[in-house]
């Protein structure tokens, strides 16, 4: 039992150290690379974010972001949806791809059939921009957002 506890404690310290290390890497970036990261972060997976921070020069970082084809992905949506994605908001009428671009991967998905129609509820934990964490639920009917609500 003590071995398992020691392993779990070591794992927690490793994870905390990795997060601190990534923050340090971010702080060492040139200002233009920080700005590019901040504008592009929402379009990258956690693994891609980490890769960006570990790249050794600005040209490689710029190429990585270029290879994400962010503008091409955004142009597939109407202007009001693009605006919501860029503001990291989720609005009714968005499809799943738009929600993923805006908020990333949900922490949980509940799928059901209601009246033979596919419905889903996606659960998110979001920073409210003021240092507090809020939980949101996004409801989909046939792959389109119908409602976004606070979840407690």
- Give me the helix-helix angle, 31-40 and 58-67, nearest 10°: 20
Per-residue pLDDT of 51-75, as tens digits, reads 999 999 999 999 999 999 999 999 9
Rounded Cα distance, 91 and 76, in Å: 16
pLDDT value at 15 more than 50 = no
pLDDT value at 5 more than 80 = no
Identify the band that residue 151 occupies on the pLDDT scale cut at 50, 70 and 90.
confident
pLDDT of residue 11: 43
Identify the band that residue 130 occupies on the pLDDT scale cut at 50, 70 and 90.
confident
Q: Beta-carbon neighbour count of residue 122 at 10 Å?
A: 23
User: DSSP secondary structure string, 41-76?
Assistant: GGGS-HHHHHHHHH-SSHHHHHHHHHHTTHHHHHTT
Identify the band that residue 16 occupies on the pLDDT scale cut at 50, 70 and 90.
very low
Per-residue pLDDT of 94-129, as tens digits, reads 999 999 999 988 999 999 998 999 999 999 997 776
Under DSSP, is residue 126 helix (H, G, I), strand (E, B) or coil?
Answer: strand
Q: For the chain, which domains are there?
A: 2-68 (no CATH), 77-150 (3.30.1450.10)
CB 37 within 8 A of CB 28: no
Identify the band that residue 86 occupies on the pLDDT scale cut at 50, 70 and 90.
very high
Q: Tell me what the pLDDT averaged over the chain comes to.
A: 87
Q: Beta-carbon neighbour count of residue 71 at 10 Å?
A: 9
Q: Which of 88, 86, 90, 83 is nearest to 123 (CA)?
A: 90
Rounded Cα distance, 144 and 114, in Å: 15
pLDDT value at 9 more than 50 = no
pLDDT of residue 2: 60
């Amino acid at each position: 039992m003590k071995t398992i506890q020691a392993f779990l404690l070591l794992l927690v310290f490793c994870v905390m150290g990795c997060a601190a290390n990534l923050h340090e890497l971010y702080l060492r970036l040139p200002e233009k690379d920080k700005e590019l990261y901040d504008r592009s972060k929402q379009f990258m997976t956690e693994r891609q974010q980490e890769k960006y921070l570990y790249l050794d020069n600005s040209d490689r970082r710029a190429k990585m972001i270029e290879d994400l084809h962010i503008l091409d992905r955004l142009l597939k949506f109407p202007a009001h949806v693009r605006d919501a994605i860029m503001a990291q908001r989720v609005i009714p009428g968005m499809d799943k791809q738009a929600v993923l671009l805006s908020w990333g991967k949900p922490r949980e998905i509940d799928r059901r059939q209601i009246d033979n129609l596919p419905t889903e509820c996606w659960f998110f934990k979001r920073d409210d921009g003021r240092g507090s964490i809020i939980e949101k639920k996004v409801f989909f009917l046939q792959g389109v957002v119908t409602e976004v609500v606070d979840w407690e």
